[in-house]
Amino acid sequence: MGESKIKFENRLFINWISENRWFVGLLILLTTLLWGYSWALMKAALEFMGPFTFSAFRFGVGTITMLLILVYFKISRPTKKQLAHLVVVGILQTSVVFLLVMYGLKFVDAGKSSVLLYSMPIWSSLLAAMLLKEKIPYPKVIGLSIGLLGLMTILGWDLWLSQNAKIVFGEFMIVLAAISWGASNVYYRMRLKELSQLQVNSYQMLFGTIGIILVSLIVEGGDSIVINLQSVYYILFTGLFASALCFTIWFILLSVIDMVTATISTLLVPVFGLVFGWFLLDEQLTASVTIGSLLIIIGIIMATGYQKIKKGLSQKS
């Protein structure tokens, strides 16, 4: 299959998604569900290996999968200039985010870790407003605020009351990861939006994985690794589905909907992360978690429903 045909079909696919908003919703639901489930798996994987080693295995599997797909479709490499931009995205989105997240998971519950990482929408929205000049309509500001209030409600008073220093440090690491992810989203929109999502995800994951492997060898090179059916399942699921599949879908979403709507929609992930953490890891699911989750859903409905209402009014006028 020729590369020009791939690009043409990619444009047709993106246009079809843009015209069928129900499919966008389906992609968001699928991605957030798989990402939410993967949080419980990432936490459980720490019983078998170090956090950086697990990330190296996970994204190694994801990278190999994506590169095989590129070979199958005979998609050539991006230009040198594009590769340089992909290095930046790979470091920000894969290396920095998941090195910090996996280290933070040593001290913080899986559910709460997912909540902290998905403060990402506020950083993405602020950076998009400053650098991409994206306007944030008032209803979306309200939706974003309600969603973030839900995140704070789920966290409870842990961020303000005195607690174990290691827990505070772990939470700080995950917040830094959220900022890095927000920056990578904006950088992608600025420099790489013209590339196919398969190319972007494959190469950013490749460069990001190289960074993770280097860190894992330096920090955890001599640590023990337990390989069994359980740990292999954790690696394969998070590598194939949470990484290769979900991040490809993520770049598709960034191409068809605005930054604010895309990032606000990911607030569903901590809801799923908390539920799976409670169900699989016996993490506590309190009243604040339930109330916060409802606030997150309300925020998503307000923010993403705004465009539909606006579109309907414009069609009537």
pTM, to two decimals: 0.83
pLDDT below 70 — which residues of the chain?
1-11, 13-14, 157-163, 259-260, 304-317
User: Would you list the domain boundaries of the chain?
Assistant: 3-306
The closest alpha carbon to 234, from 26, 93, 40, 102, belongs to: 40
- Rounded to 5 degrees, what are φ and ψ at 15? -65, -40
Tracing tokens 């969603």 back to the chain, one arrives at 147
HEC secondary structure over the chain: CCHHHHHHHHHHHHHHHHHCHHHHHHHHHHHHHHHHHHHHHHHHHCCCCCHHHHHHHHHHHHHHHHHHHHHHCCCCCCCHHHHHHHHHHHHHHHHHHHHHHHHHCCCCCHHHHHHHHCCHHHHHHHHHHHHHCCCCCHHHHHHHHHHHHHHHHHHCCCCCCCCCHHHHHHHHHHHHHHHHHHHHHHHHHHHCCCCCHHHHHHHHHHHHHHHHHHHHHHHHCCCCCCCCHHHHHHHHHHHHHHHHHHHHHHHHHHHHCCHHHHHHHCCHHHHHHHHHHHHHHCCCCCHHHHHHHHHHHHHHHHHHHHHHHHHHHHHHC
Q: How far is CA 166 from CA 107, 152, 256, in A?
A: 6, 20, 40
The closest alpha carbon to 143, from 308, 299, 260, belongs to: 299
- The pLDDT assigned to 20 comes to 76
Q: Are 127 and 180 in contact (CB under 8 A)?
A: no
The closest alpha carbon to 197, from 38, 2, 13, belongs to: 13
